[in-house]
A and B are shown apart, each in its own frame.
Chain A
Amino acid sequence: METKFDKTVEILFELKISDVMRRDIITLGPKDKMSVLKSTLQKHRISGVPVVDGGALVGVVSIEDLIKWLSDEGRDCYIEDIMSKNLQCLYADQPLMHAVKKFDQYGYGRFPVLERESGRLAGIITRGVIINGTLKKLEMEYKEEEIRQYRASHFFGDITADEKNVSLQFKIKGNDFDNAGKASTTMKKNLKRLGIRPDIIQRVAIASYEAEMNVVIYTDGGTMQYNIAEDHISIEVTDNGPGIEDIEKAMQPGFTTSESWVKELGFGAGMGLPNIKKCSDTMDLQSTVGAGTTLKIEIFIGEDDEATGNY
């Protein structure tokens, strides 16, 4: 049972609010009458309606507001006089987990969902919508899992996950400037989907990119292994040579052994290793000339990480 629960939590981080929210929203205007609210709720069998003025969300009015208004004699007035204006909203690009937390925190029946850039109302989310979305995804993953079991095992090769750790491995080709940076950009997207704090992602992205470029520029290729644990993210980069002659020198800002054509592309400025060091909490660099280099770095996720800390 426990693994099932972990899977649900994973899905709540994986899905975005925009993946499950209702988009066919019924709205009312602030100058609509309360009698219209009554008939709208009845007609659509819903319990609350966002109030929109010229595309912008200005309030929410619910069946509780209607009941309260009826018990206060129910004289017809504008919705804007009754609606709650102190709005709690969610953004379409947030992980579904944010919505779950918000329902826990406020106990409301629904939250309007806004498009982050424009601030416009994009949809609405209720507890029912979350449950349906999660179940659908679980069912889909279950089906995919069944299909996967028929397939060759190398599909499992680059990703392995147990209860608390996620690992990903990338192969990096030496001198392949066209694909250079791909591991780091892919990883950045994954971390974002996992709900890792932006400043942590930023540090991982910089360290990872510099390490990846070092493999591309100076070696015949290597691998990058990312490990995401509860409290830290680690990256292990290995290559098969040529190796670093003097690590102390290589760590000095500005020191470089790269050729001039590489420099002209804007690489090889002797800032890579110092950048990595600045971004990581621990860094270990081991190298043997002729054999290869192994770089291990860790970035701690920290305790005030609200997105993952409680789950």
Chain B
Amino acid sequence: MKLQEIIKQCGFEMKTQHGELIRDVTGGYSSDLLSDVMAHAKDGNLWITLQTHSNIVAVAVLKNLAGIVLVNNRTPEEGTLAKANEENIPIMTTKLTTFEIVGKLYEMGIKGN
């Protein structure tokens, strides 16, 4: 499923200006430990997290992730957005909790892989 389709169906609020939205999302990964994401997230995954500092962008770039979803309506730090725009990593927010949004994505067919 394309990222823009997921954004529409989940009602995510886009925080970044740039970023590739027509990309195919290969699956999802949820974790707040950066090393865990480095070890286990896969190319093209959508990453669900509550971390908002700028290092999440570096992780997304290194793992070639499709985008980052911040849960509980958490807002990304300013430096995070600047970096994400520079690196073309889409960052979006949801008011749902991690558990709820992961469940919803799973129902939509976004599996963990």
Contacts and interface: CB of A to CB of B under 8 A. Distances in A.
Contacts of A178: 54, 79
B33 A275 contact: no
Contact of A209 (B23, B36, B38, B54): B38
A210 B62 contact: no
Interface stretch (A69-77, A78-86, A165-173, A179-187): A179-187
Contacts of A177: 53-55
Given A117-B23, A209-B38, A269 B62 contact: no
A209 to B, nearest CB: 5
B20 A117 contact: yes
Task: Using C-beta atoms within 8 Å of the partner chain, give the interface range for chain B.
Answer: 20 to 34
B61 A266 contact: no
B51 interface: yes
B5 interface: no
Contacts of B32: 266
Contacts, number: 69
A205 interface: yes
Question: Which size class do A's interface residues fall under?
Answer: 20 to 34
A253 to B, nearest CB: 10
Contact of A206 (B33, B38, B55, B56): B38
Interface in A214-270: 265-267, 269
A110 interface: no
A210 B54 CA distance: 16
Contact of A181 (B33, B59, B64): B59
Given A206-B38, A206-B39, A210-B38, A180 B55 contact: yes
Contacts of A210: 35, 38
B22 A117 contact: yes
A278 B39 contact: yes
A185 B61 contact: yes
Nearest to B57: A181
B96 interface: no
Contacts of B35: 210, 213, 267, 269, 271-272, 275
B58 interface: yes
Nearest to A267: B34
A213 B64 CA distance: 18
A188 interface: yes
Nearest to B32: A266
B22 to A, nearest CB: 6
A288 to B, nearest CB: 25
A206 B34 CA distance: 11
Interface of B: 20, 22-23, 32-36, 38-39, 43, 49, 51, 53-56, 58-59, 61-64, 79, 87
Closest 5 CB pairs of A and B: A181-B58, A271-B35, A205-B62, A266-B34, A269-B33
25 contacts: A117-B20, A117-B23, A118-B22, A177-B53, A177-B54, A177-B55, A180-B58, A181-B59, A182-B58, A185-B58, A188-B62, A202-B43, A202-B63, A205-B63, A206-B38, A206-B62, A209-B38, A209-B59, A210-B38, A265-B53, A266-B34, A266-B51, A269-B33, A271-B33, A271-B35
